[in-house]
Amino acid sequence: MIIHVVQRGEALWQIANRYQVTVAQISEINGLENPNQLVVGQALLIPSHDIFHSVRAGEALWSIAQRYGTTVDAIIRANAITNPALIYWDRTPHISYPPYDPAR
């Protein structure tokens, strides 16, 4: 799960679009009776599903991030990677999906 804190001027459809989920999914998981009534500072749970990727010889975090539409930093944080230049093949890093895209 992802937690999103509602900011001034945000609508639920915008939040859903940002996280690539539906308004209905967010409404259901948060028990929102009226999805048009959000409160600034309100914490919303955002549904997500997890992906596990088997690293192949020669792969880099950048190419894995590109493949799943996320960032290298997100993969590093989710897996507590201390040296991003050194990843081991045949390991399965955790990738949270959908990724958060602040530009959306």
Residue ranges of domains in the chain: 2-46, 49-97
Same fold, 2-46 and 49-97: yes
| Architecture of the domain spanning 2-46 | Roll (3.10)
- The pLDDT-based confidence of 9 (bands split at 50, 70, 90) is very high
Whole-prediction pTM: 0.55
- pLDDT tens-place string over residues 47-101: 877 777 888 888 889 998 888 778 888 888 888 888 888 887 666 666 765 555 4
The pLDDT value recorded for residue 76 is: 87
Domain 49-97, what architecture?
Roll (3.10)
Provide the terminal-to-terminal Cα distance of the chain, rounded to the nearest Å: 19
Q: Is 33 helix (H, G, I), strand (E, B) or coil?
A: coil
Q: 3-state class of 4 per DSSP?
A: strand
Return the pLDDT at 92. Answer: 63
User: Which pLDDT belongs to residue 18?
Assistant: 85
Helices (H), the chain: 12-19, 23-30, 61-68, 72-79
